Chains A and B, each alone.
Chain A
Amino acid sequence: MADHAAAHAIHDPNIGNTGLDNRKMGMWAFLGSDCMFFGSLIGTYLAYKGKSLSGPGPHDVFDIPLTSYSAALLLASSLTMVLALSALEQNRVKKAAGWLLATALLGFHFVLNQVYEFTTFALHHNLKLSTNLFGSSFFVLTGFHGAHVTGGVIWLLILVTLAWRGLLDKRDYTKVEIAGLYWHFVDIVWIAIFTVIYLIP
């Protein structure tokens, strides 16, 4: 196993002493740190829950059907992401690009839903970042998640462009896999936010 890893490392500069791809390992380490980041934001939201001195509160503003639709969009995008990876593994680059584009569009739709939600909160319910504890903790948490999704959409669109220009093939599997790890992470954070913030009364 060690010999195999060492032999692999000679040919591929991205393979470290562990026999694992350094880029992939770095992404997992980043996702671990991001887990703690979102953990602290979710903890803060829960700590402040129900402690706002003035309204509006969560149940005055939340639109559960819209948020459920957004959750479905992200779950669907996770499926299209793994289908893109699977297509790339078979060197079907155009198909992979199509699935990547679908993933990016689903993500973009999610961001548009969030923009609509934030705008509705601000204009119709007068809930802003500085309105109360709920507004501050809610907008910071979901806003950071939205920023992550936006970053993911940009990353995916770059990969789609590379694929269309013939600069992406089976050899770039790990690059796309790393983008996929990031994308799925965004999805699992939303799984937690959707339940803890929106669904739990």
Chain B
Amino acid sequence: MADQPAVAATHEGGGHATVRTYINVAIVLAIITALEVATLYIPGIPNWFLVSSLLVMSALKFFLVVGFFMHLRYDHPILRALFVGPLIIAIAIIMAVMALFSAFLLLPRVVL
């Protein structure tokens, strides 16, 4: 196992992570999830810090799964574009709907 390369080639000519990398990624994901839940129970934590740190940790988990488990890090740019493009639109949809309803997480709500 130790002499396996960090990236193994597939029959399609691309590549993907090795079993060791998968296990390491899973351990990191478990640690981040535990940190996320633990952050909730820190007494007196400012709301802006709680929300920001939860969003950052969630984004990190998201990109670890997409990059390593879904192999997008090693895959063809066309496949990356097929996913990242709509993902950007999805985030824009969320931001737009929240702006329309004045429901931003970090900013005080404004009654229109």
Contact = CB atoms under 8 A, between A and B. Distances in A.
B110 interface: no
9 contacts: A29-B82, A35-B87, A47-B101, A49-B103, A78-B65, A79-B23, A188-B62, A191-B62, A199-B36
Given A18-B78, A46-B101, A72-B33, 5 more contacts: A31-B83, A46-B97, A48-B101, A75-B30, A191-B62
Contacts of B109: 50
- A contact face: mostly helix, strand, loop, or mixed: helix
B79 interface: yes
B78 to A, nearest CB: 6
Interface of A: 4, 18-21, 24-25, 28-29, 31-33, 35-36, 38-40, 42-44, 46-51, 64, 68, 71-72, 75-76, 78-79, 81-83, 86, 89, 173-174, 177, 180-181, 184-185, 187-188, 191-192, 194-196, 199-201
B66 A195 contact: no
Interface in B6-22: 10-13, 18-19, 22
Given A46-B98, A191-B65, A192-B62, A201 B103 contact: no
A-B complex: 7 closest residue pairs judged by Cβ atoms: A39-B90, A32-B86, A43-B97, A47-B101, A195-B58, A43-B94, A79-B26
B65 A43 contact: no
Interface string B64-86: 01100111000010110011011
Interface string B96-112: 11101101010001000
A191 B61 contact: yes
Contacts of B33: 68, 71-72, 75
A181 B55 contact: no
B90 A36 contact: yes
Nearest to A1: B13
A51 B12 CA distance: 51
B7 to A, nearest CB: 13
A82 B22 contact: yes
Nearest to A31: B83
A53 B69 CA distance: 42
Contacts of A19: 76
B44 to A, nearest CB: 13
A35 B76 contact: no
Contact of B86 (A18, A33, A184): A33
Nearest to B25: A79
Interface string B33-56: 100110110000001001100110
